[in-house]
Amino acid sequence: MNKVKHIFAICLAFAFFCSCQGNRQGGASPEGDTLALDYAQLLTLVDYDGYSVASIRDPWNKGRNLHEYVLVPRDAQLPADLPKGTLVRTPVSKAVIYTAVHSALVQEIGAGSQIGGVCDFQYIHLPFIISGVRNGSIKDCGDAMTPDLERIIDLEPDVVLLSPFENSGGYGRVEELGVPLIECADYMETSPLGRAEWMKFYGRLFGVGDEADQLFRQVNDDYLQMKAKAADANEKPSVIADMKIGSVWYVPGGQSTQGKLWADANAVYPYADDSHSGSLALSFEAVFDKAGDADIWVIRYNQPVALTYRQLAADYHGNAELKAYKERRVYGCNTGHTAFYEETPFHPDRLLRDYIQICHPEMELGGLKYFERIEE
């Protein structure tokens, strides 16, 4: 970027910043219509005359809000007395998205052409993103922790979608650009359908609310049908997840979406009584004492070749002492070769289908999509 272009871009960003901040009004809001959300606990959507408000509760500070967004149609005049919040003109025409999972969702609900840039491109396996970056229609904006600000300025995006973290200390210099930052806290929901329901918010951001609502209805219906099928199973096997990496075995907490998925698959999860929604960092010995006799072992991993029993035993001798290893009931998902992380957060119905077939192989539901039984 030459000097003149750089100065122009900084001025443009500053003007955009002032415009956005200037529209953070503090007036009282009239009574609105709250959109019924059946599962999401961290999101509220309320429609008013001429605008909508999306409120995101802080997952780490009970009783506080993480962010308020005021969504105003792009072709409408700004209402005279907007409530306090970050102004976003909808539909968003160009977005920078930090994660593959949200990129995949935006594409699925029909707004993929509105993605102008992505971060962490090297970890994205979505064909439309890969081809877009190669032909220049989508910009690679660098690492999510230290994004390329000049590329983001050049794109002039309407919003940046990113994931918040507890005690993250903010988002660095991207906050100085004045571009609305959409904090995608959906991953902190404690139920699979609760996270998936956030697609209603993203649909309204991108002007495809009807498409997002329809997709969620389909996901919800499919999920509940799968859950009902699993409830009819005669057996209820126990399941343990993932594996020891280094000195730590991270297992999903009892209130995590993974824990809920096992319950809905009519399986026993040894940590079901745990109150955490995130992962538990445990020693191998602690996991072995509590869940060493689990009937089934499912492992997510990322490597060039398929995981085998031989590798499991070579990686750590204790693995061979687990009941599921001895009885050859271990299933693996190579996340580098499947769209597990891109698809399952907003399609828990697909993951539940896999889990049901793993736990209850007598149920023929079309075959496994993400997992496979590992070989010797």
Report the C-alpha gap between 332 and 351 in whole angstroms.
Answer: 13
User: CA angle 22-28-33, nearest 5°?
Assistant: 110
Task: Looking at the structure, tell me whether residues 278 and 339 fall in a common domain.
Answer: yes
- Residue 161 shares a structural domain with residue 284: no
Task: Please answer whether residues 258 and 191 qualify as being in contact, where contact means their C-beta atoms are separated by less than 8 angstroms.
Answer: no
Q: SS3 for 49?
A: coil
pLDDT at 20: 42
CA-to-CA distance for 87 and 353, rounded, in angstroms? 40
What average pLDDT does the segment 325-343 reach?
96
Burial, 340: exposed, middle or buried (Cβ in 10 Å; 0-12, 13-18, 19+)?
Answer: buried
- The answer as to whether 161 is a domain residue is yes
Section 221-238 average pLDDT: 96
Distance of CA 224 to the CA centre of its chain: 20
Beta-sheet pairing, 279-282 with 139-140: unpaired
- pLDDT tens digits, 240-283: 999 999 999 999 999 889 999 999 999 999 999 998 888 899 99
Q: State which residues form the domain around 46.
A: 3-188
CA 339/CA 89 separation, integer angstroms = 32
Helix locations, the chain, DSSP H: 3-22, 100-108, 127-135, 149-155, 192-196, 199-205, 209-231, 257-264, 284-291, 309-315, 323-326, 340-343, 348-359
* Whether residue 47 is found in the same domain as residue 117: yes
Q: Which of 286, 372, 292, 366 is nearest to 332 (CA)?
A: 372
Q: Final residue of a domain: which of 130, 165, 188? A: 188
Q: What is the largest CA-CA distance in the chain?
A: 72
Residue-wise pLDDT tens digits, 21-46:
333 434 444 678 999 999 999 999 99
184 and 35 inside one domain: yes
Mean pLDDT of 193-210: 98
| Together in a domain, 169 and 268 | no
Question: Does 207 fall in a domain?
Answer: no
| Predicted confidence (pLDDT) per residue in 212-227, tens digit | 999 999 999 999 999 9
270 upstream amide cis, omega within 30 of 0 = no
Helix (H, G, I), strand (E, B) or coil at 375: strand
Q: Is residue 198 part of a domain?
A: no
Same domain, 170 and 53: yes
Q: Is residue 285 part of a domain?
A: yes
Q: Do 265 and 340 lie in a common domain?
A: yes
Would you call 66 helix, strand, or coil by DSSP?
strand
Which domain-ending residue is among 158, 188, 218? 188
Q: Tokens 């389909």: give the residue.
A: 218
71 within domain boundaries: yes
Give SS3 for 140: strand
Q: How many Cβ atoms sit within 10 Å of the Cβ of residue 233?
A: 16
> Is 123 a member of any domain?
yes
Say yes or no: 262 and 364 in one domain: yes
Residues 6+ away with beta carbon under 8 Å from 299: 241, 242, 243, 307, 330, 331, 332, 333, 374
Q: Measuring CA to CA, which residue among 133, 100, 369, 356 is closest to residue 239?
A: 356
Q: Are residue 160 and residue 251 in the same domain, yes or no?
A: no
Spatial separation of the C-alpha atoms in residues 325 and 313, rounded to whole Å: 9
Please report whether residue 204 resides in a domain: no
Q: How far apart are CA 179 and CA 86, in angstroms?
A: 10
Q: Are residues 167 and 66 in the same domain?
A: yes
The pLDDT of residue 9 is above 90: no
State the CATH number of the domain containing residue 259.
Answer: 3.40.50.1980
Do 186 and 164 touch, CB atoms closer than 8 A? no
Does residue 37 contact residue 200 with C-beta atoms inside 8 Å? Answer: yes
**pLDDT tens-digit map of 161-195:** 999 988 877 899 999 999 999 999 999 998 999 99
Q: Are residues 237 and 183 in the same domain?
A: no
For 52-83, the pLDDT digits (tens) are 999 999 999 989 999 999 999 999 999 988 99
248-252 vs 279-282, strand pairing mode: antiparallel
- Reading the block at residue 307, the tokens are 């995981």
| Count: domains in the chain | 2
Strand partners, 331: 298, 373
Boundary-marking domain end, from 188, 220, 254? 188
Q: Decide if 213 is inside a domain.
A: no
* Residue 31, both tokens: 């009574």
Mark whether 10 and 130 lie in a shared domain.
Answer: yes
